[in-house]
Amino acid sequence: MRVLQAEDEPVARRLTEAVVRDLGHECQSVVDGAQAWEAFLAHRPDVVISDWMMPGLSGLDLCRRIRAHATEPYAYVVMVTRQGRRAQVVEGMTAGADDYLVKPLDRAALGARLLAAERVTVLHRQLSDQRAQLEETNLELAAMTLRDPLTGLPNRRALHDDLDLLEARVARYGQRYCIALLDVDHFKTYNDTYGHQAGDRVLQAVARELRSQARRGDVVYRYGGEEFLCVFPEQTLATAAIAVERMRSGVEGLAVSHADGLVATVRISAGLAMFDPEHKRPVEEVLKDADDALYRAKQLGRNRVERASLRVVSIGPVPQTSNVGRVAAVDRTPWRERTP
């Protein structure tokens, strides 16, 4: 171990140094508390053996400073007091000392202290290693819980966290977002016909396509089942609709092959809503709007993009190139209670 000794009395200092080295440890000696503090910061010793009475910074103050610093690795502090100073022992231990020695120095006593110090510092080191490992594992686990293992997309849990953030940004910075809900058409039939593994491959292919169509800053989530959600920052409904339409048409162009050699066509429907500072409302309402628009898209024949029209003031020009932008009467029944 690396031992730092603070002792102003030369004979005791030389003696401690000799005993510590004789016991197989390194020893650095300083003559007062201030030097000890500097040496502590510079060299991070495993053990600090400090005399109680020193000019300037006392042993007690030194001990308090070391503990207030709260560093890794743990420093084992031994306070050295004169015989018959029991009150000092208690005060020193209260200040954070691990052990004490009584002067004049006894070789066996110092040896015993260093054995205890070794044991405790090893334990502290193991603990701090384990803590570091745990933190790493926790980070990995946290990352895992935020990602959908099948598609590699951020999952609904991640979305939940991100939506809080979005809500705050809309409220505080006046930012605007469009949110699209996208659903694979006839996925249940597909699953029933080709099996779950084929269904999983479709979801993976759709996820890849959505991600490749998304621009930097757009985020695609797996919302659940065969549903995806996309967040478009700083977009109007009109511009976001173009992006979603690109996604829809990209998915339509996908060729998902099957074991039997057949190639299936996959299509998606999408509902789009806007979240903006002019219309302050909880993000749940925006999701509801997107969900309603998606329902409309399903009702109007699927494989299309619908925009929410309620509560939206400024809608950009509607592109004429596709079936984007057709708005039907809004059905306010929650989407989950209906059949797709």
> Using an 8 Å Cβ cutoff, are 79 and 97 in contact?
yes
> Residue length, the chain?
340
Site string for another protein, 22-41 (x = CB under 8 A): x-------------------
By CB under 8 A, residue 283 contacts another protein: no
Shortest CB 19 distance to another protein, Å:
7
Specify the residue, 102 or 315, whose C-beta has the smaller distance to another protein: 102
**Binder among 42, 44, 94, 104 for another protein (CB under 8 A):** 104
By CB under 8 A, residue 12 contacts another protein: yes
Specify the residue, 31 or 203, whose C-beta has the smaller distance to another protein: 31
> Measured between alpha carbons, how far is 317 from 295 in angstroms, rounded to an integer?
23
By CB under 8 A, residue 11 contacts another protein: yes
Q: Which of residues 65-94 bind another protein (CB under 8 A)?
A: 82
> Measured between alpha carbons, how far is 46 from 116 in angstroms, rounded to an integer?
12
> Measured between alpha carbons, how far is 15 from 20 in angstroms, rounded to an integer?
9
Shortest CB 76 distance to another protein, Å:
23
Shortest CB 51 distance to another protein, Å:
9
Specify the residue, 7 or 276, whose C-beta has the smaller distance to another protein: 7
β-pairing, 227-233 with 219-224?
A: antiparallel
**Binder among 1, 2, 9, 285 for another protein (CB under 8 A):** 9
List residues with catalytic annotation. Answer: 226
By CB under 8 A, residue 109 contacts another protein: no
Shortest CB 100 distance to another protein, Å:
16
β-pairing, 227-233 with 177-184?
A: antiparallel
Specify the residue, 15 or 300, whose C-beta has the smaller distance to another protein: 15
**Binder among 107, 160, 188, 215 for another protein (CB under 8 A):** 107
> Measured between alpha carbons, how far is 1 from 28 in angstroms, rounded to an integer?
11
Shortest CB 145 distance to another protein, Å:
60
# binding residues, another protein (CB under 8 A) = 17
> Measured between alpha carbons, how far is 233 from 210 in angstroms, rounded to an integer?
16
Which among 87-95, 101-109, 118-126, 275-283 is the span making contact with another protein, rule CB under 8 A? 101-109
Shortest CB 74 distance to another protein, Å:
29
**Binder among 41, 72, 86, 106 for another protein (CB under 8 A):** 106
Binding site for another protein (CB under 8 A): 8-12, 14-15, 18-19, 22, 53, 82, 103-107
